[in-house]
Amino acid sequence: MSILFFLIAAALTIGVTLLLVLPLLRPPSQTDAGEQDKRLSVYRQQLAELEQDHATGTITSEQYRQSRQELERRVLEETAGGAAPAHSGRRYPSGRTAALVLIVAIPLASFLLYWMLGSPLALVHPGAQVKETEGAPSYDHQSSAGLDALTDRLKQRLEQNPGDGAGWALLARAYVELGRHGNAVTAFEKARALLPDDAQLLVDYADALAMARGRKLEGKPEAMVARALSLDPRNVKGHMLAGTIAYDRKDFRTALTHWEQAQKALPPETEPELIRELASNINEVRGLLGLAAAQTPSGGPAQAGRPPVAASGSGPAITGTITIAPGLAGKGAPTDTLFVFARAVEGPPMPVAIVRATKQDLPFTFRLDDSNSPMPARKLSEAGSVVIVARLSKSGEAMPKSGDLQGVSRPVKPGTQGLTLAIDSELP
């Protein structure tokens, strides 16, 4: 355990403690004006989007009036809440008590959590092992700055002991966490020379090499993925990457085979977000092949402790193709984010289903169903009539901004197939 690590850990703990304690030690005052301005800014953005929808005919005048009244009511409540009466002084002692509790509890809790969950030797001792789930190192408890410093120290140790394959693999994955894919490729190459038959190492190396090449999996990354699957036919990440390679080549049947293999091999502790993403990919490809949405798998140890994969993918879907008008094709960059979402004709303007791609994917074939819903309580199958919106965002954010390119469909029902929508306007 290095002194450097202790210093970083102590600095982070003190910093977090101060952030939480200082507000409790200050006497209560009126609502911070800057904080209120931020909330009001959000309402202004919502109002701007509402006016844009009304101007383009996406919503009726009556819906615009009702939505605007609701926004105005929320703004009034917000500003009224800011005019809080002067504090009475009786809360201040209790705040000070809470601060004292936090000063003791935060460092103690940090130490206990690190003692139970941390792997301090993994970044400072060659050959140390890190607990992994499908090859993903548990670095979340480190700050970016702290991890950067510790990876540099590990690299120095490995230069003195270059025969440690596990250490080079650990260093490479740390570089990936930091987004330093070029450095990760170099470290992975050294690890691969020492551990040539490690399937997980091969797929992690392929992924890092693709990222360093601008997300291109063709060539050497593809060969490493194939080699990894020959060594470990149930490797989840290997099947997911192989499915992506096949999808990019429009070989949808091969993509479906790999993604379904990945779904079957998911461990019980898999994050729900990854489960939903994989299920969405599978149902999208099944739709492109003219197949019904996948049914909920039953039984099996892989299903324990996680929600059904395909339950959210059931229900009627809307499929179609997004194109761009010739006059707008030259605007923007290939990496601009493409959002395709369904919004209910009647009700709040928030999407009931959404998928994301990039401009370079145009013409883009999409499928929207319940598995794409950002809010489980509001599903496409329950929305009635919806409009499909395709938006090219320079900022990468779904919130519309000046200069974004957009197209809006006529109202359609869930179950509509083969819709064609052109991006044909630029937001002012």
Q: Of 265, 285, 313, which closes a domain? A: 313
CA distance 27 to 275: 46
Least confident residue range of 42-56, 294-308, 329-343: 294-308
Closest CA to 147 of 116, 183, 115: 183
Answer for the pair 394, 314: CB distance below 8 angstroms, yes or no.
no
Cα–Cα distance for residue pair 79/320, rounded to 1 Å: 44
Q: Count Cβ atoms below 10 Å from residue 65 Cβ, excluding itself.
A: 12
| 388 and 369 co-located in one domain | yes
Domain-ending residue, one of 313, 329, 364: 313
On whether both 257 and 319 belong to a single domain, the answer is no
Any idea what the CATH number is for the domain that residue 340 is in? 2.60.40.1120
Q: Are residue 381 and residue 360 in the same domain, yes or no?
A: yes
pTM beyond 0.85: the answer is no
Residues 270 and 332 in one domain: no
The Cα 59–Cα 61 span in angstroms is 7
Tell me which residue of 191, 183, 187, 185 sits closest to 207, measured CA to CA: 185
Can you give the pLDDT at residue 312? 38
3-state secondary structure 208-229: HHHHHCCCCCCCHHHHHHHHHH
343 within 8 A of 349, measured Cβ to Cβ: yes
Same domain for 261 and 345, yes or no, is: no
Please write the tens of the pLDDT for every residue from 86-98: 444 444 445 667 7
On whether both 299 and 345 belong to a single domain, the answer is no
Domain membership flag for residue 409:
yes
Q: Which domain holds residue 397?
A: 315-426
Give Cβ neighbours of residue 101 (< 8 Å, ≥ 6 apart): none
Summarize pLDDT for 236-263 with one digit per residue, the tens: 999 999 999 998 888 989 999 999 999 9
Nearest to 207 by CA among 157, 247, 246, 172: 172
319 and 415 together in one domain: yes
H-run or E-run covering 188: helix 181-194
Within a domain: residue 410? Answer: yes
Tally of domains within the chain: 2
Give the pLDDT confidence score for residue 290 in this predicted structure.
72
Q: What is the predicted pLDDT for the residue at 277?
A: 80
Average pLDDT for the chain: 76
Residue 369 lies in a domain: yes
Q: How confident is the model at residue 1 (pLDDT cuts 50, 70, 90)?
A: very low
Question: What digits encode the pLDDT tens for the residues 281-298?
Answer: 888 888 777 777 665 443
For residue 309, tell me if it sits in a domain.
yes
